[in-house]
Chains A and B, each alone.
Chain A
Amino acid sequence: MNMMATARDGRSQNSHPSAMVKELLDIADYIASLRDAIAILRANELTRDRLPMVHEELSEVVAATAGATNSIMSTAEAVLALRDGPGYRDAVEAKIYDIFEACTFQDITGQRIAKVAEAMSQLEGRLARFSAAVKARDAAGIDEIEIDRRKRNESLLLNGPQMGGPATAQDAIDALFA
């Protein structure tokens, strides 16, 4: 857009044909480089394949962790409900193996999350190259829905879990209530 404005200004200030041709060629070069940058982004592949894959994989992770947690908890509850008696140890051992089996979800979800991380890394790389190629600048404003979401989160102090464990330890919290 700036180059278009420059071209329009140039037309009024400098009517020399060769200067106009040069500016038009510059604009053509810029458009060509922009098209290359867009092509490198491979937006169609991202929206058709990569991002749906990310959604599917994360949904599978959520389902697998929920399924495994339910399975482990059901088994633990079943162990708690076992009655003392001659078969108690065998019954507990059988339930423990059920828990081991349920824990295999971690291997599968780990692989799924690795696929998502790789896709995100590719997306990050492409966006970074695209941003550099077009010298992109972020718009000043944010859309209304995002503003409302941020306001609500700020007013309700919705931070979510902190990275690396709780921001404030239980002991420190207890001191506030002592």
Chain B
Amino acid sequence: MALDLSMPILVVDDYQTMVRIIRNLLKQLGFEDVDDASDGTAALARLKGRKYGLVISDWNMEPMTGYELLRHVRADEGLRTTPFIMVTAESKTENVIAAKKAGVNNYIVKPFNAATLKSKIEAVCGA
């Protein structure tokens, strides 16, 4: 199954530079419909208002972290199947395991390139 390049993607990061980098990488991969949010709370509000094909989230944000956002998404009947990739510098094994237990679909350590992002999106979105 080919990747659906028209699917809306939500990028969640409190650093606008990182949002811009991920946006550009997604654009390089062919994705054009990209929204962003600066923390988990703002992301949840966006997720309630629109059906996203993928969430790409940082971990370390305030007031709601990416880990808390993941748990909210997985606890929400309407959002629980939304593919979720964590893109973060929180790379201790315990973090990865905790995120996996909470239901994350894949996990990317910063810094990363377009090829890594593409392979994870393919793995998560079933290409």
Give residues in A with beta carbon < 8 Å to B. Answer: 66, 69-70, 73, 76-77, 80, 156-162, 166-170, 172-173, 176-177
Contacts and interface: CB of A to CB of B under 8 A. Distances in A.
A176 B21 contact: no
B100 interface: yes
Contact of A176 (B97, B112, B116): B97
The 8 closest A-B pairs by CB, nearest first: A166-B91, A161-B89, A167-B92, A166-B109, A157-B95, A168-B91, A168-B93, A167-B91
B21 A177 contact: no
A70 B17 contact: yes
B65 A162 contact: no
Given A69-B17, A162-B89, A177-B123, 19 more contacts: A66-B17, A70-B17, A73-B21, A76-B24, A77-B24, A156-B65, A156-B68, A161-B89, A161-B91, A161-B110, A167-B91, A168-B93, A169-B109, A173-B91, A173-B107, A173-B108, A173-B109, A176-B97, A177-B107
Contacts, number: 66
Contact of B93 (A76, A80, A167): A167
B93 A172 contact: yes
Given A158-B60, A158-B65, A161-B89, A173 B96 contact: yes
A176 B107 CA distance: 10
Interface residues of B, number: 28
Contact of B109 (A76, A158, A168, A177): A168
Contacts of B95: 157, 159
A177 B100 contact: yes
B116 A170 contact: yes
Interface in B83-97: 89-97
Nearest to B108: A170
A153 B98 CA distance: 14
B48 interface: no
B90 A159 contact: yes
Nearest to A170: B109
13 contacts: A76-B24, A80-B24, A158-B60, A160-B60, A162-B89, A166-B109, A167-B91, A167-B93, A168-B109, A170-B112, A170-B116, A176-B96, A177-B107
A140 to B, nearest CB: 28
A167 B91 CA distance: 6
A159 B112 CA distance: 19
A7 to B, nearest CB: 51
B106 interface: yes
Contacts of B100: 176-177
A136 B40 CA distance: 43
A162 B96 CA distance: 14
A173 B106 CA distance: 9
